[in-house]
Amino acid sequence: MRFIDRMARIYETRLWYPIVLNLYGGFHSPSLAQLGSTVTQKVQSTEGRVLDIACGPGTFGRRIASPSKEVFGIDVSMGMLRQGAAYITKEGTPNVHFARARVEALPFEDGIFDAALCCGSLHLFADTVVALCEMARVVKPGGILSVFTFGAGRSGILKFRRVREWSLSHHGLHVFDLPEMEQHLTASGFKDFQPEISGSILTFSARKQAA
């Protein structure tokens, strides 16, 4: 956690995302700006409350906050949250709130959010289904979940099975294949899985099932 707190200041610089995306996803991976556009476009038509899960400094949530979209970012790192608060003050970004919380126990009522983002973190949660179930709990039926994570693609170091196995055993990094991800979503109460994969960068949307 101390490492993550210290990393907050470089998280949105060339010292982090470009390196991670190219290393894990391959040299033809999307840039941070392209990734942000892909992920946030899936919820652009949504109005109301949007949950940004494991938000870091609000890297993706800040892109969509507006008078019609109120973004609530949660993360376990106080360093990331403080950096996010500094960004929204500097940028004058409206309607963004931060709180320290874990995805496994979100401090929100059932069905309070119109959409949710989970960017760069789903692969790090200890139990993917538990995390997705909690996301589904707080999203309204029909609400969109938009995700960026890692898949077993054809480029980057994650294309190698031994690297994926080592990453899981040593760092708890899950690398998903598409049938597995769809099974996790269905088990958690989501439907309409719409994946896109670029190298080993997986983005997708899914919709909360009706009650």
- The pLDDT of residue 1: 78
How would you class 23 by CB atoms within 10 Å of its CB: exposed for 0-12, middle for 13-18, buried for 19 or more?
A: middle
Q: Looking at the predicted structure, is the pLDDT value of residue 126 above 90?
A: yes
Report CA torsion sign: 102, 107, 111, 112.
negative
**What is the DSSP secondary structure assignment for residue 118, as one 8-state letter?**
E
pLDDT at position 179 is 95
Residue 112: pLDDT above 80? yes
Give the range of the structural domain holding residue 169, as residue numbers without chain letter: 2-208
**Taking residues 1-26, what's their average pLDDT?**
88
Domain count, the chain: 1
DSSP sequence for 42-59: TTTT--EEEEEET-TTTT
pLDDT at 72: 98
pLDDT recorded at residue 203? 96
**Sorting pLDDT into bands at 50, 70 and 90, what band is 193?**
very high
| Mean pLDDT of the region 100-114 | 97
Question: Is residue 110 within 8 Å of 136, Cβ to Cβ?
Answer: no
Which residue carries 């949007």 as its tokens?
50
The 10 Å Cβ neighbour count of residue 199 is 22
With a cut of 90, say whether residue 63 has pLDDT above it. Answer: yes
Token look-up 């959409």 returns 115
Which residue from 166, 174, 197 is spatially nearest to 28, judged by alpha carbons?
Answer: 197
Q: Which residue has the higher pLDDT, 148 or 160?
A: 148
Q: What is the CATH number of the domain that holds 62?
A: 3.40.50.150
Q: What is the pTM of this model?
A: 0.93
The mean pLDDT of 46-56, rounded to a whole number, is 97
Query: What's the whole-number average pLDDT of the chain?
Result: 94
> Given a cut of 90, is residue 117 above it in pLDDT?
yes
Phi-psi region of 92 (alpha: psi -120 to 50; beta: other; left: phi over 0): left
* pLDDT greater than 90 at residue 36: yes
pLDDT at 211 over 80: no
Q: Is the pLDDT of residue 18 over 80?
A: yes
Q: How confident is the model at residue 12 (pLDDT cuts 50, 70, 90)?
A: very high
